[in-house]
Amino acid sequence: MPEFLNIVDEEDSIIGQEERTKIHAEGLLHREIHVYFVTTNKEIIFQHRARDKDTFPDLLDATVGGHVEIGDGYEKTAIKETDEETGVKIKESDLVLISKSANRIEDETTKKINYAFLSAYLYAYNGSIDNLVIETGKAIGFEIWTIDKLLNINDEDKKRFIPFVLDFTTTKLIPFIKNLKL
């Protein structure tokens, strides 16, 4: 059964609905969330995407990511996707908004276009990475990275990340984290 999502305009107002496959094939503006798990040591946990994902297969991504489904809001989606993708149950007050912006990214491998309003959140995670539940068929696992390693990343490791996620991490997430008390 095809998955339909809301299409939005540049002000993030809903203007229609379309199938997810068409949205990514044509680069239609839609809504997504990312949740970045940050440990008490200010390390960042990334999800390793499955090798058969339709966009950015086999790359490191935000800890949690997902499309905002029709009838849902950003926070509700973040809560639901966090449970589905990690097994961690959170509430809205656990989420710290980092930023919300429209981003257009083309996957060089699959040629799909992801043009989305992205609400990115931080979640202060005080558990072990081993306690995170991998969503079957969607991910391979999780990796924990220090801020220092991310800021001094070598060219080989850069290729392991979705380029947008690495850029977001180094330009927005890390500066945001440095100002937080976890």
pLDDT digits (tens, 9 = 90+) for 143-173: 999 999 999 999 999 999 999 999 999 999 9
* Cα-based distances in Å from 165 to 1, 2, 19, 67, 91: 29, 27, 24, 16, 24
DSSP 8-state assignment for residue 161: B
Average pLDDT over the chain, rounded to whole? 95
The token pair that represents 164 in the structure block: 């947008």
Q: How far apart are CA 124 and CA 82, in angstroms?
A: 13
C-alpha span between 137 and 43 (Å, rounded): 26
Q: Which positions ≥6 away from 89 have C-beta within 8 Å?
A: 82, 83
- For tokens 């969503």, the residue is 135
Q: Which of 65-69, 110-114, 134-138 holds the top average pLDDT? A: 65-69
Q: Determine the residue type at 46.
A: F
The residues with which 160 forms a beta bridge, in sequence order, are none
Domains and CATH numbers, the chain: 4-178 (3.90.79.10)
pTM for the model stands at 0.95
